[in-house]
A and B are shown apart, each in its own frame.
Chain A
């Protein structure tokens, strides 16, 4: 495995601020860290480049399309995880899809607009080779993502 990029306490401060508010003003972060805005911008850009920051998430209370998140967990035949994950990546509403070990073999997060859409996804999955069991769970809460809970530790001095 490639060594992870190094982050220090200043990077952690930036990440903490941005995991509470993606639009947080760099000037405010700079003030908090006693650094220049340029220094913060440079660090931010670096973390985007090396993939620590992967993008942004937005959760809206009164979504016009009433989007909901569902979790799809599958039990599958021994060697079919890879092909199933590849197949699942074709589902347009898919947010993420992972190989897991334990109670299930494959986990996916999907955003849907309606119950009909869930049914359609389920029928698509039923046709996939190697799928043994499909468990679908619908999230009741709109706000379910708490990135600020992550305990971030420095992994070294960033150069």
Chain B
């Protein structure tokens, strides 16, 4: 990656929607140059993803389940992660190094939906065990006050 591309990336880390004209001004080059470099990086796969981050609680989700998955001995987590990546409401899915073979984050709207989706993931052919933790931002106090 050339120096200018690196600088453009640094600018985009701050805000992926930062106008090309603004980046050009900061870096002292023309807008066309920034645009050309950006398009090059998108085409050749340097920029893998540029996306808006969303507050899922405000979109009606109750919370997220953080799934730590072990696959059967001698079986890679590749297939499992590939399936997870096509599963609705799975926002994060990756193979991992460590105690577990894969990690995923699943957003859910209700306890029923959570139960259904986690059961389905647990039943995937390569999955050996699944440990889960849940983040439910709506619960401000835990345990809830008595009375």
Contacts and interface: CB of A to CB of B under 8 A. Distances in A.
Indicate, yes or no, whether A interacts with B: yes
Interface of A: 1, 4-5, 7, 15, 18-23, 50-64, 69, 71, 73, 98-105, 107, 135-153, 155
Given A20-B51, A137-B100, A150-B91, A101 B12 contact: no
Identify the interface centre among B51, B88, B133, B137: most chain A CB within 10 Å of its CB: B51
B51 A140 contact: no
Interface string B85-122: 11111111111111110010001010000000000000
Contacts of A52: 54-55, 58-59
Contact of A146 (B54, B93, B133): B93
17 contacts: A15-B52, A22-B17, A22-B52, A52-B55, A53-B53, A53-B54, A53-B55, A56-B16, A58-B12, A58-B13, A58-B16, A59-B49, A102-B132, A141-B94, A145-B49, A147-B52, A150-B88
Interface string B43-81: 001111111111111111000001010000000000001
B142 A101 contact: yes
Contacts of A55: 15, 52-53
Interface in B1-50: 1, 6, 9, 12-13, 15-17, 45-50
B51 A60 contact: no
Given A22-B16, A149-B85, 19 more contacts: A18-B51, A18-B52, A19-B51, A19-B52, A23-B17, A54-B53, A56-B15, A59-B49, A63-B9, A69-B94, A73-B68, A100-B133, A102-B134, A135-B98, A136-B98, A137-B98, A139-B96, A143-B49, A146-B90
Contacts of B12: 58
B123 interface: no
A60 B1 CA distance: 11
B52 to A, nearest CB: 4
Contacts of B48: 59-61, 142-143
Given A73-B133, A155-B60, A139 B103 contact: yes
B128 interface: no
Nearest to A156: B60
A149 B86 CA distance: 7
Contacts of B53: 53-57, 147
A57 to B, nearest CB: 5
B9 A58 contact: yes
A150 B59 contact: yes
A58 B50 contact: yes
A149 B54 CA distance: 12
Contacts of A101: 133-134, 136, 142
B138 interface: yes
B47 A60 contact: yes
Contacts of B52: 15, 18-19, 22, 53, 55-57, 147
